[in-house]
A and B are shown apart, each in its own frame.
Chain A
Amino acid sequence: DGGITQSPKYLFRKEGQNVTLSCEQNLNHDAMYWYRQDPGQGLRLIYYSQIVNDFQKGDIAEGYSVSREKKESFPLTVTSAQKNPTAFYLCASSRRPSYSNQPQHFGDGTRLSIL
């Protein structure tokens, strides 16, 4: 079955450490997205990519970085510059990013905590 796979499911970060969250999709979608979810808040967009080798900052990009070297993969690195990284991170993808009526499909998330 097609879908989005996020790994690991749980991740712990030490002070000053960079960590990378994996997101892989086999839906043949062009666009991919990273969101951060905090309790009591909606999802906030970190980065998105419409095509390979291109990506744009979302609303809360500071302290994060991404790459899009393959259509299927959109890893997110949480750098040491992100001072409050504890959150639930969700990856999503969609078809034809220029069409706003396309739904986004979500992975099952990675929960990141500070040691």
Chain B
Amino acid sequence: AQSVTQLDSHVSVSEGTPVLLRCNYSSSYSPSLFWYVQHPNKGLQLLLKYTSAATLVKGINGFEAEFKKSETSFHLTKPSAHMSDAAEYFCVVSGSGTGNQFYFGTGTSLTVIP
């Protein structure tokens, strides 16, 4: 079975400071993991994905995430927050077998304080 836990429902950072959004996963096999961002009243945009290649994954807009199998974690980071980063972020693990089903975390709302 697959599941995702996003450890913080809300995170607030000051502009220019680092961002850390935490995600733990549960999977019975080697997972594929994704981070998506959602701005208000918009769809989800793919930030980055891990698919068993390099454990440090670089994405768009300066975000990156590190896959740590021993900790079953896939935390999202960015060195310096911008105002435009304020949004909802979802960690996703992909299921096996048919359908390519995604299992979503409940989301982390990021606020950037000017």
Contact between chains at A98 and B98 (CB < 8 Å)? yes
Q: Which of B41, B44, B90 has the most CB of A within 10 A?
A: B44
Question: Could you say which residues of chain B place their CB within 8 Å of the CB of A85?
Answer: none
Q: Which of B51, B90, B99, B107 contacts A50 (CB 8 A)?
A: B99
Instruction: Return A80 CB to nearest CB of chain B, in Å.
Output: 26
Total interface residues in chain B, CB < 8 Å: 28
**In contact, B46 and A109 (Cβ under 8 angstroms):** no
Cβ–Cβ contact B46 & A103, under 8 A: yes
CB distance from A26 to the nearest CB of B (A): 15
* Residue pair A48, B42 in contact (C-beta under 8 Å): no
A94 and B41 within 8 A (CB): no
Q: Within residues 87 to 115 of chain A, which ones have a CB less than 8 A from any CB in chain B?
A: 88, 90, 92, 94, 96-109, 111
Q: Would A101 and B94 count as touching, CB distance under 8 A? A: yes
Q: Would you call A45 an interface residue if the criterion is a C-beta within 8 Å of the partner chain's C-beta atoms?
A: yes
If A31-B100, A48-B101 touch, whether A103 touches B49 (CB-CB below 8 Å) is yes
> For residue A99, which residue of chain B has the nearest CB?
B100
- A45 contacts across to B, CB distance below 8 A: 101-102
Indicate if the CB atoms of A97 and B43 lie closer than 8 Å: no
B52 contacts across to A, CB distance below 8 A? 101
Interface residue A56 (Cβ < 8 Å from any Cβ of B): yes
Q: Which of A12-20, A35-43, A65-73 contacts B (4 or more CB under 8 A)?
A: A35-43
What is the distance, in angstroms, from A50's C-beta to the closest C-beta of chain B? 6
Residue of B nearest to A108 (CB): B43
A92 to B94, alpha carbons, bound, how many Å? Answer: 14
State whether A108 touches B42 (Cβ < 8 A): yes
New contact pairs (13) apart from A45-B101, A106-B44, CB-CB < 8 Å: A6-B43, A33-B102, A43-B44, A45-B102, A88-B41, A98-B97, A98-B98, A99-B100, A100-B94, A106-B45, A108-B42, A108-B43, A109-B42
